[in-house]
Chain A
Amino acid sequence: MLTVTNVNKKFGNESILEDIQLEFSNGVYGLLAPNGAGKTTLIKMLTTLLYPTKGEILYEGQNIFSMGENYRDLIGYLPQQFGYYKNYNPYQYLQYLAALKGISKQAANEKIPKLLKLVALEDAIKKKMRKFSGGMIQRVGIAQAMLNDPKILILDEPTAGLDPKERVRFRNLLSELARDRIVILSTHIVSDVESIANQIIMIKDKQVLFKDSIQIICQKLQGKVFETEMNFDRVQEFRRHYLSLSERQENGRMMIRFIAEEGSSSNWKQVNPTLEDVFLFEYQDHSLEQLK
């Protein structure tokens, strides 16, 4: 079990995270927050790249920084902007990272083709990575994170650059992997975690806002999410009074999904809240900026 206890992180005088308390056991954890909320900072602390200003992070009761390489041997990490050498091919690149992970050359030789097959790159094993598309690079990144068969898999914005087909494939892969390990997936894209995360962690105002299952988180908005249909000329006025979650045109009218404290009109249809609704509700300012 991985435990984050009273962790604070400051850069100079600027506080990024405050009093973070989390527990992770096997399963997929979706770390969901808008950009700049501190997801990457938390992830970098979990990967020992950053030291907490206060508090501690424990794995099986031991401080991860004291565990040193014994802890790092347990983690697989895909950074947000993960690095690679353009003149390397996936085989050379994975061999290099295998060396850093303390994996013998023979073991790496056996493992690399399997991993590249898993991410559908078996035909590009000797192709220079400079010729790869964003999606292919990201798949190499996923393969490198899996090299040491990690007990804790930490993925920071892993679906960036993946096409819809690859995203589905990736989600299925994570579900499979999460059976016997901790998978922490940081993202600001709700659909990435909605279908696979056992628990969602949301960070707001430097602190953990929610750490619960999707169902429980969605209950926070139970009875407050509605859909309605109206003429275009009324939309502007409507938005001034209610938080619009999504809008689409249908049959010459506007279909709006929105939040209201209680149903006040007969043509409002109450619907079940989704994780995206909660996300948009909680991060209203951020969400609107990101939607723009």
Chain B
Amino acid sequence: MRIIIEEMKKIFHPVMLLICLLINLLMYYIFIDFDISVFPNGRPATDMYNIGIEMVDKYGHELDENELKDFTKVLQQEIKKADKYIQADKEFSNLGITSYREFIDMRKENQENPEIDLLSSKIMFDKEIDLFWEIPQRENVIEKMEFVNERYGYSDLVQLPTSKQDQRIQEIIQSGKVNAIFPSYPVEYNFQTISQSIAITILVSVIFMISPIFIRDYKNNMFGLQYSSKIGRGLVLKKVTAGMLATFIITTFLIIVYYGLYSTNDIGMFLESEINSFMGTVYWYDFSFLQLIIMTILLTYVITLSLSLLAIFVSSICKNYISIIGIQLPLFAVLYWLIKKRVLPVEAFHLTSSQWEIGMIYSIMIIIPISVIGWIVRNRQTKDILE
């Protein structure tokens, strides 16, 4: 254990930590900050978020038939309020609009009428009258619930659903889980973006901290002393262990920090909501939002530990830092692409992600790094230490 601690001291050298902190500050302000400081992002995201909170407060985490009726009643009341507003407003009466429905119909029919456009813009953006933002969202919720059997899940698919996808959609509908109240827009979307950015930031931090693990010794002519000491070639395994532990510590620390910041987005009331909601998308598994977050974090660990093992391997075969960057850049680019394509880690369980492909990707991510590290450990046992 003492050797592992000594190796970890080298990884966590204060100068490296300071640079890592600067990298994180930069990454935070470029990629993460926006999704924390601007949530919900404008309108109608804010309205949908508020409606979601209201629904959870009033009806719990599921919406039954009676509650839907109640929700519809609230909508009617809102429309009446909107009617009153319109009747009291001179600009509406000048255009001959006397009710909310008339206003909406006219807006649809006369899309290029500058007067209606101007009025609509004034109400929505200048005066920001909440009613006119909220009513369409409430109508949207009701419509989704009313047509859940026909539309749920299918709108997310670009192609016709496979039999398995169809089966999964029907399973959610039949089981009634579809009644879950979970405003995937904006809550789930925000989580997807932020968890991607967090995963990428952690990957960059891990690569930066772990990459010097072997090359630092090579550059400092340490191999002769290290491999002729009592631990000998067994040091390779100790260094790999130290690298893995350090990766785990870095990942855990950054996850605590970034998900701690994410928690300030006030999404606590949705943590128990099922994610397979009529208001949102379809997943292969029956997770609550909290379980989705936990699974995403677990997959983030898999990705960072996997890349860390590759970084250790690359560090052990390279003779200079340029070649390390040269080899790791494409590796990082592939992972970045997979994350941005939403394969890893956020949408791994999404209905649009083939579980067979996801399984393959994660298996490759686990098997290849373990294999190459195994090769390095065995190779160092039998290889002459020439350096």
Chain A residues with CB under 8 Å of chain B are 44, 47-51, 68-69, 72-73, 75, 77, 79, 81-87, 95-97, 99-102, 104-105, 144, 148
Q: How far is the CB of A55 from chain B (nearest CB, A)?
A: 15
Contact of B232 among A69, A95, A99, A105 (CB under 8 A): A69
Known A-B contacts A77-B224, A82-B224, A83-B224; the reply to A105 vs B230 at CB < 8 A is no
Known A-B contacts A51-B384, A68-B232, A69-B231; the reply to A85 vs B10 at CB < 8 A is yes
In the assembled complex, which residues on chain A have CB atoms less than 8 Å from the CB atom of B2? 99, 104-105
Q: Give Cα distance in the complex from A15 to B232, angstroms.
A: 26
Say yes or no: is B85 at the interface (Cβ < 8 Å to chain A). no
Which residue in chain A gives the minimum CB-CB distance to B223?
Answer: A83
One of B36-44, B63-71, B214-222, B251-259 at the interface: B214-222
Known A-B contacts A49-B227, A100-B3; the reply to A72 vs B232 at CB < 8 A is yes
Q: Give Cα distance in the complex from A72 to B221, angstroms.
A: 19
Which residue in chain A gives the minimum CB-CB distance to B1?
Answer: A99
In the assembled complex, which residues on chain A have CB atoms less than 8 Å from the CB atom of B228? 47-49, 72, 75, 77, 79
Do residues A97 and B225 form an inter-chain contact, with CB atoms below 8 A? yes
Known A-B contacts A51-B384, A99-B2; the reply to A83 vs B222 at CB < 8 A is yes
Would you mind naming 25 contact pairs between A and B with Cβ atoms under 8 Å apart?
A47-B228, A48-B232, A49-B228, A50-B384, A69-B230, A72-B228, A79-B224, A79-B228, A82-B224, A82-B225, A83-B217, A83-B220, A83-B223, A83-B224, A84-B221, A85-B220, A85-B222, A87-B15, A99-B3, A100-B229, A100-B230, A101-B229, A101-B230, A105-B2, A144-B225
Q: Would you list which residues of chain B between 283 and 313 have a CB under 8 Å from chain A?
A: none
Q: Give Cα distance in the complex from A228 to B224, angstroms.
A: 47
Say yes or no: is B13 at the interface (Cβ < 8 Å to chain A). yes
Q: Give Cα distance in the complex from A86 to B216, angstroms.
A: 11
Which residue in chain B gives the minimum CB-CB distance to A145?
Answer: B225
Mostly, the A contact residues are: loop
Do residues A49 and B220 form an inter-chain contact, with CB atoms below 8 A? no
In the assembled complex, which residues on chain A have CB atoms less than 8 Å from the CB atom of B234? 69
CB contacts between A and B, total, < 8 Å: 82
Q: Would you list which residues of chain B between 6 and 29 have a CB under 8 Å from chain A?
A: 6, 10, 13, 15
Say yes or no: is B226 at the interface (Cβ < 8 Å to chain A). yes
Q: Give Cα distance in the complex from A81 to B218, angstroms.
A: 12
The digit string for B308-335, where 1 denotes a CB below 8 A from any CB of A, is: 0000000000000000000000000000
Chain B: interface size category:
20 to 34
Do residues B224 and A100 form an inter-chain contact, with CB atoms below 8 A? no
Known A-B contacts A49-B385, A85-B220; the reply to A77 vs B225 at CB < 8 A is yes
Say yes or no: is B51 at the interface (Cβ < 8 Å to chain A). no
Chain B residues with CB under 8 Å of chain A are 2-3, 5-6, 10, 13, 15, 216-217, 220-232, 234-235, 382, 384-386
Do residues B6 and A50 form an inter-chain contact, with CB atoms below 8 A? no
Q: How far is the CB of B100 from chain A (nearest CB, A)?
A: 71
Contact of A100 among B220, B235, B384, B385 (CB under 8 A): B235
Which residue in chain B gives the minimum CB-CB distance to A68?
Answer: B232
In the assembled complex, which residues on chain A have CB atoms less than 8 Å from the CB atom of B225? 77, 79, 82-83, 97, 100, 144
Interface-central residue, A69, A83, A148, by most chain B CB under 10 Å: A83
Do residues B221 and A79 form an inter-chain contact, with CB atoms below 8 A? yes
Do residues B231 and A87 form an inter-chain contact, with CB atoms below 8 A? no
Q: A95-B6, A100-B235 are in contact. List 11 more A-B contacts (CB 8 A).
A: A49-B384, A51-B384, A69-B231, A83-B221, A83-B224, A83-B225, A85-B220, A99-B3, A100-B229, A101-B230, A102-B230
Q: How far is the CB of A159 from chain B (nearest CB, A)?
A: 18
Q: Give Cα distance in the complex from A75 to B225, angstroms.
A: 11
Q: How far is the CB of A222 from chain B (nearest CB, A)?
A: 40
In the assembled complex, which residues on chain B have CB atoms less than 8 Å from the CB atom of A101? 229-231
Q: Give Cα distance in the complex from A100 to B234, angstroms.
A: 10
In the assembled complex, which residues on chain B have CB atoms less than 8 Å from the CB atom of A84? 220-222
In the assembled complex, which residues on chain A have CB atoms less than 8 Å from the CB atom of B223? 83
Contact of A148 among B10, B230, B384 (CB under 8 A): B230
Q: How far is the CB of A104 from chain B (nearest CB, A)?
A: 8
In the assembled complex, which residues on chain B have CB atoms less than 8 Å from the CB atom of A97? 225, 229
Q: Give Cα distance in the complex from A48 to B230, angstroms.
A: 11
Do residues A81 and B221 form an inter-chain contact, with CB atoms below 8 A? yes
Q: How far is the CB of B33 from chain A (nearest CB, A)?
A: 33
In the assembled complex, which residues on chain B have CB atoms less than 8 Å from the CB atom of A95? 6
Which residue in chain A gives the minimum CB-CB distance to B219?
Answer: A83
Q: Give Cα distance in the complex from A104 to B44, angstroms.
A: 64
Q: Give Cα distance in the complex from A48 to B384, angstroms.
A: 9
Q: How far is the CB of B361 from chain A (nearest CB, A)?
A: 38
Contact of A73 among B216, B217, B220, B230 (CB under 8 A): B230
CB-CB nearest 8 A-B residue pairs: A83-B221, A83-B222, A100-B229, A79-B224, A47-B228, A49-B385, A102-B230, A99-B2
Q: How far is the CB of B4 from chain A (nearest CB, A)?
A: 9
Do residues B232 and A44 form an inter-chain contact, with CB atoms below 8 A? no
In the assembled complex, which residues on chain B have CB atoms less than 8 Å from the CB atom of A82? 221, 224-225
Q: How far is the CB of A64 from chain B (nearest CB, A)?
A: 11
Q: Give Cα distance in the complex from A104 to B230, angstroms.
A: 13
Interface-central residue, A77, A85, A96, A144, by most chain B CB under 10 Å: A96
Q: How far is the CB of B346 from chain A (nearest CB, A)?
A: 39
In the assembled complex, which residues on chain A have CB atoms less than 8 Å from the CB atom of B231? 69, 100-102
In the assembled complex, which residues on chain A have CB atoms less than 8 Å from the CB atom of B221? 79, 81-84
